[in-house]
Structure 1
Amino acid sequence: MDTNKVWLVTGASKGLGLALVKQLIAQGYRVAGTSRSLGSLEKVIEKSDRFLPLEMDILNETDVRKGVEATVKAFGKIDVLVNNAGYGQLGTLEELSDKEARENFDANVFGSLNVIRQVMPLMRTQKSGHIMNVASIGGLLGAFPGWGVYCATKFAVAGFTEALAAEVSEFGIAATVVYPGYFRTNFLESGSLNLPQNSIQEYTTARALEVKHKEEIAGNQPGNPELAAEAFIALGNMQNPPVHFVMGSDAFGLAEAKINMLRTDMATHEALSKSTDY
């Protein structure tokens, strides 16, 4: 492992971001971690000369630029960026307001793009780097009633990561979209998961899935955050990292189901699909 690499991790005060930062520090890496609140970082991560806590609003480009500059000033470079900041938004497409939907896209999509824009000039100059964008298995399979907008944000993350990988390969830079399944973090708690402000009770399937996440899935997720951190570090040390990485056995099974579904639909309607050519 190359512990000389410098990592920048957004959303580092909880969840997978926190597990990753702690593991990086323990293994001797230098890492900058961001949160909207500096105090939230200082409460959960001990002071270290290998850790730079940054208060950063990823929706504010000036804030992001200052955070990137502070990281370079402290550590000289950025080798690996992990765009992890974001939150979950429950609610069917009908019941979520325009404001709720746009705010979820702002945090999960446009915030990451802000960070990428500020880090890319540095990585292009270095002619090296690796950008990991954390999506969700919900960014590969959207068939979760009441999670439509959230899944759409994560599909967007997958889409721009594919494009990014193609755009930056000529500079020796890699890009990976990570699709985690359910990990035993605080993601399903308030503060990380928003409920719809105006729910429509007729959506019984969506309501039942909300209850299932609160009462059955929360606290029983199969994924271990510590092992997820190890997987992120393994990706960061690969010479040829994948563009797509499915994280967790549950996510792997759902990804296989999506692939099979797509193959079935394509095979069933192959003749109609190909009937549209001149």
Structure 2
Amino acid sequence: MSNSKTILITGAGSGLGEGTAIGLAQLNYKVIAGVQILPQVTALRKKVAELGLENNIEVIKLNILDKYDVKVALKYDIDILFNNAGIGESGPVFEMPLDIVRDNFETNVFAPLELTQQFVARWITAKKQGKVIFTSSVVGLFTQVGLGAYASSKHALEAIAESLAEELKPYNIKIQTINPGAYFTGFNETMAETAFRWLDDKKNITKRADLKAGFDAFFSSSYSKLDPAEMIDAMIKIIPSDTGKFRNAVPQLVEDMLKGVQLKSWENTI
């Protein structure tokens, strides 16, 4: 795909999404950067202007759960859809309120699938080549204690992406996933705080101090602080490319870890 292609990115208001939008624009791709809330629109437009990228990035409000935002996004003629927007919820699944689990699936699975369906239908009707990339996660391929609800939504996304990849081959529409590890963008740190808004030591079996100790141990490890620049560099190569792997875990140590965990899972006992 040439640099003339237009790429729509959801969840471009911070972290890997923002970095990828800027990186692709610097490579002279046309980027529609969708952000969740209006303050992010203002902040990103300011950053785009400071970088002199106004001709390559258009910043729009795109809350993927807002039907009016989605209607605006669907007016764009794009070549690549990067479904990057997502939320994360932490806490023990056996006690987590079900409305929170449903919200996780609504944002991470149903909304990106609906947006994908609409763009794919347009491409097929127009007999146009297209590409869809989903931001999954390393926990789309294994489950970390305390992140079961988030991981299950990413597992579901993996299954949908695999199915789409086969279904859409006859129409020359490509599908990929990107599976970031624990990059130090603030997303994982914020997700770890979500359980503490509903966990109640007077009602719940899981105690707040125990859950916090588990998260603190993880965030004190070097694995939890991977440099996001490494992931962004990989993403700006993966997203516009005509070729590549279906699943993309970065760096290599993360891919190796995932393969080891998946192999070991066959030896798990109850």
Shared fold, TM over 0.5: yes
Structure 1 segment 125-274 matched on structure 2, within 5 A = 125-142=126-143, 144-190=144-190, 194-196=194-196, 197-198=198-199, 200=204, 202=206, 206-213=211-218, 215-217=219-221, 221-222=225-226, 224-262=227-265, 264=267
The CA deviation at 1:240 is 2.9
The CA deviation at 1:68 is 2.2
CA offsets 1:193-236 (integer angstroms, 9 cap, x no match): 622512546468644322234x52599612x3233222122223
For structure 1, the residue ranges without an aligned partner over 5 or more in a row are 269-278
Distance 2:88 2:33 in 1: 20
Structure 1 segment 45-56 matched on structure 2, within 5 A = 45-47=47-49, 48-56=54-62
The CA deviation at 1:64 is 1.1
Question: 1:112 maps to what in 2?
Answer: 112
The answer to whether the 8 A contact 1:130-1:173 is kept is: yes
Question: 2:97 maps to what in 1?
Answer: 97
Distance 2:7 2:72 in 1: 16
The CA deviation at 1:173 is 0.7
The CA deviation at 1:93 is 0.8
The DSSP-based 3-state class of the residue aligned with 1:232 is: helix
Distance 1:102 1:168 in 2: 28
The CA deviation at 1:135 is 0.8
1:134 aligned partner, one-letter code: T
2:72 aligned partner, one-letter code: K
The CA deviation at 1:46 is 1.7
Residue 87 to residue 189, structure 1, CA distance change in 2 (3 Å): same
Residue 105 to residue 10, structure 1, CA distance change in 2 (3 Å): same
Distance 1:159 1:220 in 2: 26
Residue 65 to residue 193, structure 1, CA distance change in 2 (3 Å): farther
The answer to whether the 8 A contact 1:138-1:154 is kept is: yes
Question: 1:42 maps to what in 2?
Answer: 42
Distance 1:38 1:131 in 2: 25
In the alignment of these two chains, the number of paired residues is 257
For structure 2, the residue ranges without an aligned partner over 5 or more in a row are none
CA offsets 1:12-59 (integer angstroms, 9 cap, x no match): 010110110111111111100111213313313324022111112212
Distance 1:98 1:92 in 2: 12
Calculate the aligned-residue CA RMSD, in Å. Answer: 2.5
The CA deviation at 1:258 is 2.5
TM-score by length of 1: 0.83
Distance 1:105 1:63 in 2: 19
Distance 1:227 1:93 in 2: 32
The CA deviation at 1:86 is 0.8
Distance 2:240 2:59 in 1: 23
Residue 245 to residue 193, structure 1, CA distance change in 2 (3 Å): farther
